[in-house]
Amino acid sequence: MSTSGPGVVGGGRRVLVTGTSGLLGRSVAQLLFDRGYSVVTLQRRAVDAPWDSLQGSVADPDVAARAVHGVDAIVHLAAKVSFTGAWDEFVATNIVGTRQLITAAQHAGVRDFVFVSSPSVAHLGASIVGSGAGAASPEFARGHYARSKAAAEEMALAEDSPTFRATAIRPHIVWGPGDTQLVERVVERARAGRLPLLDGGRALIDTTYVDNAAEAIVRGLERMDYAHGQALVVTNGEPRPVGELIAGICAAAGVKAPGYSVPGWLARGAGSAIEKAWTAAGSRGWVHDEPPMTRFLAEQLSTAHWFDQRHTQAVLDWTPAVSLDEGLAKLAAHYRAQG
């Protein structure tokens, strides 16, 4: 574990943000810093940042204890995010890591804990049409990532009390300039001609521009009096056909949008087979990248999932500031700047 950065001087609470190697974690830390919070971050890789930065694994109890020292609030984003992988790997980071952090936080007297979750913890495979958050389901959520996050979310919310207030914020499909989870994969696969639409890309889905997701997470911390004990789904509130969203991302990056379609049922079946083969090959060290299709990914691309945002917006006293069209314009500007 190493420490870098000049430290932060200023008013406001001292907040630990985990998982800031990723786009959303970094955006949350930057927003807190810009608002005058004293920020410390924890991530596996070194980062160049104007705040205190710790490097290590949240699953290490010594690292967790050092990270929470002197803070009074935590925003926990660190997680293993993947379509494939051994269950034990997800348990180690997403479940054990969350438990270690909560235990360390309670021992240190931290009062507020924002657990950044995912709507996938309550997605059981059927269409979601204008629903609320729904209960997390470690047993029936789809895939190792969703099940492990569901277990971690349940664990965090079970600890909610007057002295340790916990909330779960579930941003849905976060994207923006610099995103490697959605945008980069869409662009790379579209450029290579390996991105089919499922069922013609008609499934209606919600997504979240990264600035909006970061703002909602910070509002979860600032509105803990109202948000604690709850799970809140966060989206842009602009459901669109998945094919339209993919076309917008491709246009922003200057690549041709996919023009062929595969039946969703076929992709789901193929995804199950590919995922098993990919996981087996990966356990032998043969592959390291994500597979071209998994059942979970096929379900996400062929099943409607959009959410009623009225309760979330009322609790957080928040509305998205960046529309999807504005986000796509920012993405296009990003790609133009890259040449």
284 Cβ contact partners less than 8 Å away, ≥ 6 residues apart: none
How many domains is the chain partitioned into structurally?
1
Residue 178 near residue 162, CB atoms below 8 Å: no
Long-range contacts of 134-143 (CB under 8 A, 24+ apart): 136/168, 136/231, 142/295, 142/296, 142/299, 143/83, 143/294, 143/295, 143/296
Q: What is the pLDDT of residue 295?
A: 62
Q: What are phi and psi of 43, to 5 degrees?
A: -155, 165
Q: Is residue 288 part of a domain?
A: no
Q: Is residue 154 part of a domain?
A: yes
Instruction: Kindly tell me the burial class for residue 308, based on how many C-beta atoms sit within 10 Å of its own C-beta (0-12, 13-18, 19 or more).
Output: middle
Q: Is residue 287 part of a domain?
A: no
311 Cβ contact partners less than 8 Å away, ≥ 6 residues apart: 132, 133, 232
Q: What is the pLDDT of residue 11?
A: 47
Q: What is the pLDDT of residue 4?
A: 38
The CA distance from 237 to 260, in Å, is 28
Q: Are strands 197-198 and 165-171 parallel, antiparallel or unpaired?
A: unpaired
Ordered mean pLDDT values, 10 residues apiece, the chain (339 residues): 37 88 95 96 86 92 95 96 86 96 97 96 81 86 92 98 97 94 89 86 94 98 97 97 94 91 71 67 53 65 86 98 98 93
Which residues form the domain of 97? 2-172+207-237+306-321
Q: Is residue 271 part of a domain?
A: no
Q: pTM for the complete prediction?
A: 0.89
Residue 295 near residue 107, CB atoms below 8 Å: no
The CA distance from 249 to 175, in Å, is 10
Q: Is residue 232 part of a domain?
A: yes
Q: What is the CATH number for 6?
A: 3.40.50.720
State the catalytic residue, choosing from 37, 145, 226, 335: 145
Residue 209 falls in the annotated catalytic set: no
Q: Is residue 292 part of a domain?
A: no
Q: Is residue 198 part of a domain?
A: no
Q: What is the pLDDT of residue 7?
A: 38
